């Protein structure tokens, strides 16, 4: 597992977003840049992510993540629900896309219990 310190000036996800080879709305770019702060081996919630960008709608953040053209470099798989359940991935809550989210998280060292919830010690809170 990598260090929890993220260098935002050299982060490959931020570089992709700033280069914007694909069209993003300013809101999408703001969400995705903030997401790049979540280090490998950690997850955050839609609420923590929305609070970090001063947005009152976790659902709007979820919609921006659903349209992430840079996954998994910009790691939308690292966002979960406030109750520590996995939430959605790739626009769905079941099936092979959720299996992929689990695979990505587990490959980064995040533990998911039998109840389908992430252990709270893996939560990243923005400072």
Please say whether the beta carbons of 114 and 102 come within 8 A: no
57, burial (CB in 10 Å: exposed 0-12, middle 13-18, buried 19+): exposed
How crowded is residue 69: how many other Cβ atoms within 10 Å of its Cβ? 14
Question: How is residue 6 written in tokens?
Answer: 């993220």
Q: Considering 32, 71, 76, 112, which one is annotated as catalytic?
A: 76
Element (H, E) at 31: helix 26-35
Rounded Cα–Cα distance for residues 102 and 96 (Å) = 10
CA quadruple 12, 23, 54, 111: dihedral positive or negative? negative
* Catalytic-residue membership of 76: yes
Residues classed as catalytic: 76
């Amino acid at each position: 597992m990598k260090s929890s310190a993220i260098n935002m000036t050299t982060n490959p996800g931020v570089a992709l977003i700033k280069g914007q080879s694909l069209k993003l709305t300013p809101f999408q770019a703001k969400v995705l840049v903030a997401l790049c702060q979540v280090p490998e081996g950690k997850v955050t919630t839609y609420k923590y992510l929305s609070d970090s960008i001063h947005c009152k709608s976790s659902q709007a953040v979820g919609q921006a993540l659903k349209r992430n053209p840079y996954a998994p470099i910009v790691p939308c798989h690292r966002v979960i629900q406030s109750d520590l359940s996995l939430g959605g991935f790739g626009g769905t809550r079941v099936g092979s896309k959720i299996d992929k989210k689990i695979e990505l998280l587990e490959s980064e060292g995040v533990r998911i219990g039998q109840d389908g919830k992430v252990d709270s010690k893996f939560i990243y809170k923005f400072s």
